Structure 1
């Protein structure tokens, strides 16, 4: 399937796409403070392109557990200059990682191609969906909830969440083909819930295309005996391969090269 991203196109299904994470924040759990100026952000983006990235995801507010919410104005000040620069310097698809429609609108005006919403179009009163419809851009809709308690089967609960996302997208005339589903590993889920969702990813496959974002998350460090964030690369690669085996289309990662190589091997086996 060809996913139209404004003036660029990307093909889903032929290979696993690599989305590289570029957080221009001082406090993100993995790379906070590393790329929150224009020079370092551009250098990292260029490295991602050299390593084979397909999409670069720009985030201006940390959404790690216990994060401090920042204002719309501050988030715009962080992301817009970076997006404008990358749009001029690099031929790459850019997504904006935000749940605030005002930030998404500023990012789209600056040159972004995709909206990555950690609340699956359900944070506001339809403004994000209206914006996506106006610009006719794809939306990555992540499953999320407050707290980690589930009163029913977790996959069933996630399916109901995504149905609500689809209801909203239908209301605003967004094609369901323009929605990429993200199971939200690490969001509204504890250790065991993360593992269960990963083990059962194929049960969401009939609902649409899937993006998997597990990169360096806490549950990987816990499985590996309490390893620090920077020591979780191999564990992340393992989840990438598991996800590809279960039918995901995009993986969102910090370490592009390692996951790209793993995806090439996994694709050769699973997509033969």
Structure 2
């Protein structure tokens, strides 16, 4: 496979695409196994929605949602587990329970997150987000979106290294839909290879997002699968090393075709 597939598992009641579908622990574990059977290289488990206007949850609630799932999967599969969180307390307990990667939409900017990630020594995905989920889509503005994101990455990489995190542990995600307009998202996709200048693995997460619906003429979330696969293929063509998706089997098929002619 020319890129790794990260399967999305939201153990939440309110995520934009699959909120509530896997809120029960048994359902979440069953869904994770399904994603693995379909070919997921990584399972990304999140217990707090980061959709636009999402309400924050306490770290205790987040732990109750994700830790039993992580523990069970760590005992039953060798597929790497990523914890999708910004909270140091959740990072710590998730890694102690079997997670081997932190996927942080706040790029370790929450108080204590840098120090915790440094102590844990696992891979960390640093995502760019302008604002916070509650307000990020109100009126995002950039001087130059690609250069602004690159400036952000440079600062976060420096902060991570200063905190004792090896640069070899870092992954970068420009954050499609996190404080970006439709035009910003298109520009990021077109110029995705610009972020290769850091020499680090790149992650792209567009699966079923509003930008895909807009490309398809304001299509509903449930009908964005084909568009999401096309977006993943374009991202990989432009340098993505990991694609974060809900539809693993369909994405794997698309990437296998791309790999056959690349």
CA distance in 1, matches of 2:28, 2:97: 16
Aligned position for 2:127: 142
5+ residue gaps, structure 1, are 1-13
Please give the secondary structure, in 1, of the residue aligned with 2:202.
strand
Decide whether the 8 Å contact of 1:244 with 1:266 is kept in 2.
Answer: no
Aligned position for 1:129: 114
Please give the secondary structure, in 2, of the residue aligned with 1:92.
coil
Please give the secondary structure, in 2, of the residue aligned with 1:70.
coil
Please give the secondary structure, in 2, of the residue aligned with 1:185.
coil
In the TM superposition, what whole-angstrom CA distance separates every residue of 1:29-70 from its partner, at most 9, and x where no partner exists?
001011111211111111111111100000000000000101
Matches within 5 A, 1:97-112: 97-112=84-99
Decide whether the 8 Å contact of 2:204 with 2:235 is kept in 1.
Answer: yes
Tell me the C-alpha RMSD between the 2 structures: 1.2
| Residue 245 of structure 1 pairs with residue 245 of structure 2 | no
CA distance in 1, matches of 2:259, 2:165: 30
Question: Which residue of the other structure, out of 179, 187, 209, is the alignment partner of 2:170?
Answer: 179
- Residue 250 (structure 1) shift: 0.2
CA distance in 1, matches of 2:122, 2:142: 34
CA distance in 1, matches of 2:3, 2:261: 12
CA distance in 1, matches of 2:187, 2:142: 15
TM-score, with structure 2 as normaliser: 0.94
CA distance in 1, matches of 2:106, 2:97: 22
CA distance in 2, matches of 1:196, 1:15: 23
Aligned position for 2:78: 91
Decide whether the 8 Å contact of 1:121 with 1:141 is kept in 2.
Answer: yes
Aligned position for 2:154: 163
Question: Which residue of the other structure, out of 181, 197, 211, is the alignment partner of 1:190?
Answer: 181
Please give the secondary structure, in 1, of the residue aligned with 2:89.
helix
- Residue 86 (structure 1) shift: 0.9
Decide whether the 8 Å contact of 1:16 with 1:267 is kept in 2.
Answer: no
Aligned position for 2:44: 57
Decide whether the 8 Å contact of 1:180 with 1:209 is kept in 2.
Answer: yes
Number of residue pairs aligned between Structure 1 and Structure 2: 255
Aligned position for 1:7: none
TM-score, with structure 1 as normaliser: 0.91
Aligned position for 1:236: 228
- Residue 151 (structure 1) shift: 4.0
- Residue 268 (structure 1) shift: 3.0
